A and B are shown apart, each in its own frame.
Chain A
């Protein structure tokens, strides 16, 4: 049995999905597009898979999210739909429900946040609502786990007995809209039945004129004209255009249903609390200071107080493990070349990356809390007019902020933007937001060269990235991406406490992803680099690392970096390895200098001066992102050539900015 979980954004959909599936989740993509497809097996039910559709407000064919949701239901024929509805915001949530009912698939409405409704003196006559809507309605409180088993029982029964929604007429029977809908039903019902399409859904699409429904149904010119005539007549007698007339019909029906079945709560505690919190968080004078304070706190906790400490602990653990493994292999009498592969290649490469796992997880912990509490939406609200100046909307701020964690999920997060133009522009800008994998590079270098001003160097680098990003955005805005940004019409959900389970599952997912990368891309990278540096051009084991294959490649490329201050084959080589993953820059430098990451700082002085160190840091900040991020860019831009252009132009920009820094610095010092 396959179920689809559909609902508005901020309706508690993820919480319900997590409650139903636990940690048994699979994350992928919908076919052909780049919208995330999450699915999982429902706990306690054999062979019952539930697919979490993207959060949508409507099923018009405008955004990718709306298209994949509709396509999934119409083409993959799920056995049932679980429609989650936020009971505290029932009118707008039911708007989507009415559209889903037209799809003629067994459906159950999960009325979420009923605990909040009750606590605020409201009540909902669930049986009445179920009668009006023609589908079972089950009250739940997903965050507390209440009603989940009743919900699944109802869903299972409805889906396995194939009980279809019994109501799909939402129009007043004496209205012009009613006449219009029914006249078109007569015209096209047999066409739709033959194609196996739900006819009410087809009629809605025909009236709204969205997409190519007339082509799909194979209507002839005569029928098309007749339908247009019927719709125009409806527009004339209602005084509303077709889209407004249908929206009006749906909201009228909902208002009627709400009047009958819902005793509205007085202004909810949660809403009052939200308004009170907003007085500070989006207040005229407090919003920006609070925003910067929050960002500062997140960074300080991640890169200093919590994340960094855990990282240090982990590094010690890995070091001990490596030492133990080395001793063990030595005692076993393993071939020295193989032992070198294991210890110097794999353990050194992967280990150095793994110790940064805590930083990544800590950052995602804070980002997910910002998202789940509802503050992320306020960031978009507060920052909108600033971002609009560079041609983007406030919503682009969120993916760009994620970019400070990791470019890969950040680029993936651009899918939430509804305009193709904004999406592409945000994708191009995100790599300028220095990702957390570059932190090890900054950390090692600033500790080695500017031990007293490490924080200042870090902040300086982040700001440089942002400034270059803004300049690039202004350039894009007036060249590649002329035109207007997307409409910015967005819900500001009530503030809520994030659920520990949702945060934990997200962290688990991110950690898994990071570890996977560490053991695939970085594992491979470490082996290749080890191979290149262990053997010379005749595949003999090298005695002096200056003879290695890698040294040959590095020497070939190094002169390019002369004008920016680091013409050295080891530096060139580490930058090449940074292409596989940014963390490798440091591990490669350590391997090439024949030292450990911890001691790297003491050796770096022989390669860099403080000025060339800065130039190098600026270059690593701006040059091409890692292969995983490039793959994500390619997926989103859907063009290899454009992706290549992005990669090359970033390397060129990085070189130019480093050149400026190095030469101006040279004059000043």
Chain B
């Protein structure tokens, strides 16, 4: 599944980071790399963008961007 499909409060582990050019480098620089655990925190009041918890900090990104990140769901809470 992709990051945008993760339910609020659930966690997942990144498997592949897609996207191109500046967007992809931004993902990598912000710590969105394979094997990293992310937790879905919330969606903005208008449904988009979303807020995730990664490496102990809050990051926001849009659904269409999150759709470029493949994850596998994790059972355990972070």
Q: Indicate whether A171 reaches chain B with its CB closer than 8 angstroms.
A: no
B31 touches A251 (CB 8 A): yes
Binary interface profile of A, 258-269, with partner B (CB < 8 Å = 1, else 0)? Answer: 000000100000
Q: How far is the CA of A487 from the CA of B64 in the complex (A)?
A: 10
Say which residue of A248, A264, A288 sits within 8 Å of B33 (CB atoms): A248
Minimum Cβ distance to chain B for residue A271 (Å): 8
A278 cross-chain contacts in B, Cβ below 8 A: 42
Residue pair B29, A60 in contact (C-beta under 8 Å): yes
* Residue from B19, B31, B47 within 8 A of A91 (CB atoms): B31
Selected from A57, A271, A282, A418, the residue in CB contact (under 8 A) with B44 is: A282
Task: Tell whether, in the assembled complex, residue A244 and residue B33 are in contact, meaning their CB atoms are under 8 Å apart.
Answer: yes
Q: Are A62 and B57 in contact (CB under 8 A)?
A: no
B46 within 8 A of A: yes
B61/A488 in contact, CB under 8 A: yes
- The complex places the Cα of A89 from the Cα of B55 at a distance, in Å, of 8
Please name the residue on chain B nearest to A386 by beta carbon.
Answer: B46
Chain B residues with CB below 8 A from A287, complex form = 44-45
The answer to whether A385 has its CB under 8 Å from any CB of chain B is yes
Report Cα–Cα, A384/B43, bound state, in Å: 11
Cβ-neighbour of A489 out of B34, B48, B65 (below 8 A): B65
User: Does chain B have a CB within 8 A of A299?
Assistant: no
Determine the chain B residues whose CB is within 8 A of the CB of A385 once the complex forms: 44, 46-49
Inter-subunit contact B58/A489 (CB<8 Å): no
Given the known interface contacts A244-B34, A282-B44, the answer about A92 and B62 at a Cβ–Cβ threshold of 8 Å is no
**B contact residues around A62 at 8 Å (CB):** 22, 25
Contact call B22/A418, Cβ cutoff below 8 A: yes
CB-CB < 8 A to A459: which residues of B? none
- The yes or no answer to B38 lying at the interface (CB within 8 A) is no
Report the contact-size class of chain B (Cβ under 8 Å from the partner). Answer: 20 to 34
Q: Is B2 an interface residue (CB 8 A)?
A: no
Q: Are B44 and A384 in contact (CB under 8 A)?
A: yes
Contact string against A for B residues 1-12, beta-carbon threshold 8 Å, 1 for contact and 0 otherwise: 000000000000
The answer to whether B51 touches A243, judged by C-beta atoms less than 8 angstroms apart, is no
Closest A residue by C-beta to B51? A492
Judge whether A491 and B56 touch: CB under 8 Å.
no
> In the complex the two chains form, is A248's CB within 8 Å of B56's CB?
no
Q: In the complex, what's the smallest C-beta–C-beta distance from B53 to chain A, in angstroms? A: 9
A492 to B22 CA separation, bound complex (whole angstroms): 20
Cβ–Cβ contact B27 & A58, under 8 A: no
A489 touches B30 (CB 8 A): yes
Residues of B within 8 A of A91 (CB): 31, 55-56
Within 8 A of B (CB), among A371-385: 380-382, 384-385
In the complex, whether A456 has a CB less than 8 A from a CB of chain B is no
Interface centre among A95, A285, A492 (most CB of B within 10 A): A492
Of B46, B56, B59, which contacts A492 at CB under 8 A? B59
Interchain nearest-CB distance for B7 vs A (Å): 15
Contact A488 B25 (CB under 8 A): no
User: Is A394 at the interface (CB under 8 A from chain B)?
Assistant: yes
B28 touches A247 (CB 8 A): yes
Is the CB–CB distance between A487 and B48 below 8 Å?
no
A-contact bits for B35-78, CB 8 A (1 contact / 0 none): 01000011111111101000111111110010000000000000
Residues of A contacting B26 with CB < 8 Å?
487, 489
Q: For the complex, what is the distance from the CA of A493 to the CA of B34, rounded to whole Å?
A: 23
Interfacial chain A residues near B65, Cβ < 8 Å: 487-489
Q: Check A240–B57 contact: CB distance below 8 A.
A: no
- Tell me, yes or no, whether A331 is within 8 Å of chain B by CB: no
A487 with B22: CB separation less than 8 A: yes
Cross-chain contact of B45 among A244, A247, A382, A493 (Cβ < 8 A) = A382
Interface check B24, CB cutoff 8 A: yes
Residues from chain A with Cβ under 8 Å of B24 in the complex: 243
Q: Does A211 contact B (CB under 8 A)?
A: no
* Interface residue from B30, B46, B51, B61 paired with A92 (Cβ < 8 Å): B30
Give the chain A neighbours of B30 by CB distance below 8 A: 57, 92, 489, 491
| Chain A proximity of B46: nearest CB distance (Å) | 4
Asked if A665 is at the interface of the complex by the 8 Å CB criterion, the answer is no
Determine whether the beta carbon of B42 is less than 8 Å from that of A282: yes
Residues in B whose Cβ lies below 8 Å from that of A218: none
User: Contacts A251-B33, A394-B49 given: A490-B59 contact, CB under 8 Å?
Assistant: yes
B45 touches A282 (CB 8 A): yes
A640 interface residue per 8 A CB criterion: no
Please state if B56 and A488 are interface contacts (CB–CB under 8 Å): no
> Closest residue to A291 on the B side, CB-wise?
B45
Query: Which residue from chain B places its CB closest to the CB of A285 in the assembled complex?
Result: B45
Q: How far is the CA of A497 from the CA of B43 in the complex (A)?
A: 25
Q: How far is the CB of B27 from chain A (nearest CB, A)?
A: 7
> A381-B60, A384-B62, A385-B48 known; A244 and B28 CB under 8 Å?
yes
Within the complex, what minimum Cβ distance (angstroms) separates A392 from chain B?
A: 13
CB closest chain-B residue, reference A88: B56
List of A residues within 8 angstroms of B28 by Cβ: 243-244, 247
In the complex, A88 Cα to B17 Cα: how many Å?
26
A278 to B44, CA, bound (A): 11
* Chain B positions within 8 Å of A95 at CB level: 29, 31
Q: What is the bound-complex CA distance between A98 and B51, given in angstroms?
A: 27
* A491 / chain B contacts, CB cutoff of 8 Å: 30, 57-60
Report A-chain residues with C-beta under 8 Å of the C-beta of B43: 284
Residues of A within 8 A of B55 (CB): 89, 91-92
Which residues from chain B contact A288 at a C-beta distance below 8 Å?
A: 45
**B residues touching A (Cβ–Cβ < 8 Å)?**
17, 19, 22-31, 33-34, 36, 41-49, 51, 55-62, 65
The 7 closest A-B pairs by CB, nearest first: A247-B28, A487-B23, A492-B58, A58-B29, A287-B45, A385-B46, A91-B55
27 contacts between A and B (CB under 8 A): A57-B30, A88-B56, A92-B30, A92-B31, A243-B24, A244-B33, A247-B29, A248-B33, A248-B34, A251-B31, A251-B36, A278-B42, A282-B44, A282-B45, A284-B43, A287-B45, A288-B45, A384-B44, A384-B48, A487-B22, A487-B23, A489-B61, A490-B59, A491-B58, A491-B60, A492-B51, A493-B58
**Given A283-B45, A491-B57, 13 new contacts (CB under 8 A):** A91-B55, A92-B30, A264-B56, A278-B42, A282-B45, A282-B51, A284-B42, A381-B44, A382-B45, A385-B46, A488-B62, A491-B58, A494-B58
